[in-house]
A and B are shown apart, each in its own frame.
Chain A
Amino acid sequence: MILLLQYTLIFASVLLLVALGGCFSEHSGVINIGLEGIMVMGALGGALMMKFLPAGTPAIAMILLVVLAAILLGMLYSLLLAVAAINFKADQTLVGTAMNLLGTAGATVFVKAMNTAESVDNVSSTIQYIDAKKAFLVNIGSFEFNWFMLLAVIALAAAYVTLYKTRFGLRLCACGEHPQAADSVGINVYKMRYAGVLISGMLGGLGGIVYITAGVSEWKFENGVAGFGFLALAVMIFGQWKPTRIALAALLFGFFRALGNVYTGFDFLKALELPSSVYNMLPYIISLVVLAFTSRKSRAPKAEGVPYDKGQR
């Protein structure tokens, strides 16, 4: 039972972070389909930092540096979307899809090259970080507390305050609702959209490193992040683009994802004798059903996905 709670919380943290990222980007008017690729890049940054920090690094320094690396790489990578979508008015869905493929392929090429450079026989696409990962865990009884859970809560509070209580947040939302009106009162729409995409890169990258460290074994970069970026988008839609609702949605989805990991621990679930693939499918099925019921009266930002052109009326 405690294991279920633990996995629910950690997966919910991933979904919350990434969905908040998507939420900032969409409120500024840019659809970020590329979250999946951003997560991979963030994960790569964090994992590399864990691998190369010396073993004796104090836990607090380790946490800060890893988070920093993940955020930095995520933001850098999100610039690909920002430049294409904001300056060149490219199709945001196409560019996002390309980023997802590019992220996974790029990270795999990089990690494999690194591994084969170390030893010719090593063609795996994993990075060794199991020892370094312990810095993030605190055991409270049999419950394994992960500092990332706290980080997710902080991100939630920060996102709520930023979006609703600051001048920046309100301006950001204005750019996603009616960019022409925002421009007419002197807001620089292009700058605001850059800010939105970069914040989504930051949170997406962070979510990526949380995701790959959530599992027990080391992550294979070949697999990308298994559709988690898209699950996060579903969480965001279910949460109607509002941070607090997104948090609740993340908990729900996190629960179903966690069930796939630990269902063997429950006698009544084991007694059903469902194949394990049913549990693997569960989060995706649930999200489809939930989307079907919540998308009808969608509260999406009105101008999302539409490139802003100053000359257009």
Chain B
Amino acid sequence: MKEQKRSLLRNDAVQSLLASLLCILIGLLVGYVVLLLINPAGAGEAISTIVKNFMTYSRRNAQLKYLGSTLVKTAPLLMCSLSVLFAYKAGLFNIGAAGQYVVGAGASLYCALALGMPWYVCMLAAIAAGALLGAVSGVLKAYFNVNEVISCIMLNWISLYAVNTLLSQVKEATSPYTLNLANTNPDAILPALPSFCMAWFNDNQYVTIAVPLAVMMAVLIWVLLEKTKMGYELKATGFNKAAARYCGMRENKNLILTMAISGGLAAMGASMLFLTGFEQWQCTQSSIPGMGFNGIAAAFLGGLNPLGTILSSYFIQHITNGGAYVDKTMYSAQISDFISALIIYLCGFVLFFKYALNSRMDRREEKKRAASAEDREKGGTEQ
């Protein structure tokens, strides 16, 4: 077969895109059915609200402003999904992105509020804290054979309680929330975009350099994984640890390094949200923020490609924000969490989908070839 004759469906990227769209479609469909079951009266409106998100506002200015708000939260989500993706490429399942995100928030807010550091120091502190936490999981896996999923979950809870305790020192006297960042330490707020860019979001003050920075990180991770020796080694270790060692790669070092980078990415994401002042940390929080878990959804929905995750992160955040607008007298905002969880579940079937698609096309091609061979044979006997 000639190369150009291969069907478009054979292309791996096309297949991934197709599979992701299918996951989204089925996820939204099941979400719609659940809404119908709860209350048939408002289901159509609710699902369109979720999909529309900021478009539900009729005024253009409001739309722009809330587009900005969605982007503010897309940046940390993109970082979390890069974290999950990076680890997964090296054969590790970093469910600890949630915990690394938590320590990132803790470190950046503590540096900003208690120590009065400028934003870049706060961000570096977050990255260091996250990398350290990731490295702990890596060391436990490399030298003690502890499954990274379980150690990550334990560390998630430990970090949540530790950060709650730490940030209680810088909380407001009357509320469980941390001090207002803009009043306490304006230096720690991330720089805004140039003013002509700010107009795109109707001067939403929370849109900062975090958004383009996150996109740049996605490109950087893609380059690191696809174009460098280090990325190649990390991936090789993930495919086959024994083979990697045989080729002279230090598999334990690679494993720990992977987890550290992965942790740093998630924690950096947290600093990108909390250093905008968009949200304050609630020191009595009893459940782990969902950002890290949504990162898993975004990573897999993006076909495990750093550039794909830019789109998928935006989509997941888009419907999560949209969920906040549904009619609260009928439905709860968690319906969006439900839909994104469903999408993660469906992503489990992607491999099978690709396999089925490929083998179907193989069979069809074989039939065609057999048919043409038969024709030739027939032709041969008739002559």
Contact = CB atoms under 8 A, between A and B. Distances in A.
B140 interface: yes
Interface string B20-52: 000000000000001000110000000000000
Nearest to B342: A102
A170 interface: no
Interface string B296-340: 100010000000000000000000000000001111101101101
Contact of A292 (B146, B300, B342): B146
Contacts of B154: 227, 230, 234, 284-285, 287-288, 291
11 contacts: A88-B348, A99-B345, A109-B332, A123-B332, A226-B287, A230-B154, A234-B150, A277-B162, A284-B155, A288-B155, A295-B147
Interface string A233-248: 1100100000000000
Contacts of B82: none
A89 B335 contact: no
A109 B351 contact: no
A297 to B, nearest CB: 9
Given A93-B93, A226-B157, A277-B161, A84 B348 contact: yes
B329 A120 contact: yes
Q: Which of B140, B300, B347, B349 has the most CB of A within 10 A?
A: B349
Interface in A54-107: 80, 84, 88-91, 93-95, 97-99, 101-102, 104-106
A128 interface: no
Nearest to A296: B145
Nearest to A229: B153
Nearest to B37: A113
Contacts, number: 147
B319 to A, nearest CB: 13
Contacts of A116: 328-330, 332
Contact of A277 (B34, B149, B164): B164
Given A94-B300, A112-B334, A230 B344 contact: no
B157 A233 contact: no
A107 B360 CA distance: 38
B349 A84 contact: yes
Interface in A29-44: 33
B72 to A, nearest CB: 23
Closest 10 CB pairs of A and B: A90-B348, A98-B345, A101-B341, A98-B344, A102-B341, A105-B337, A112-B332, A105-B338, A277-B161, A230-B153
A222 interface: yes
Contacts of A123: 328, 332
A224 interface: yes
B101 interface: no
A108 interface: yes
Interface residues of B, number: 47
Given A108-B332, A116-B330, A291 B146 contact: yes
B87 to A, nearest CB: 12
B95 interface: yes
B348 A95 contact: yes
B352 interface: yes
A223 interface: yes
A278 B161 CA distance: 8
B191 to A, nearest CB: 34
Interface string B123-167: 000000000000000001000111101110111111001101100
Given A84-B345, A223-B286, A284-B158, A97 B328 contact: no
Interface in A128-143: none
B293 interface: yes
Interface string B208-236: 00000000000000000000000000000
Contacts of B286: 223, 226
A170 B105 CA distance: 49
A198 to B, nearest CB: 18
A284 B174 CA distance: 31
A290 B183 CA distance: 45
Contact of A109 (B144, B151, B338, B347): B338
Interface string A285-311: 101100111011010000000000000
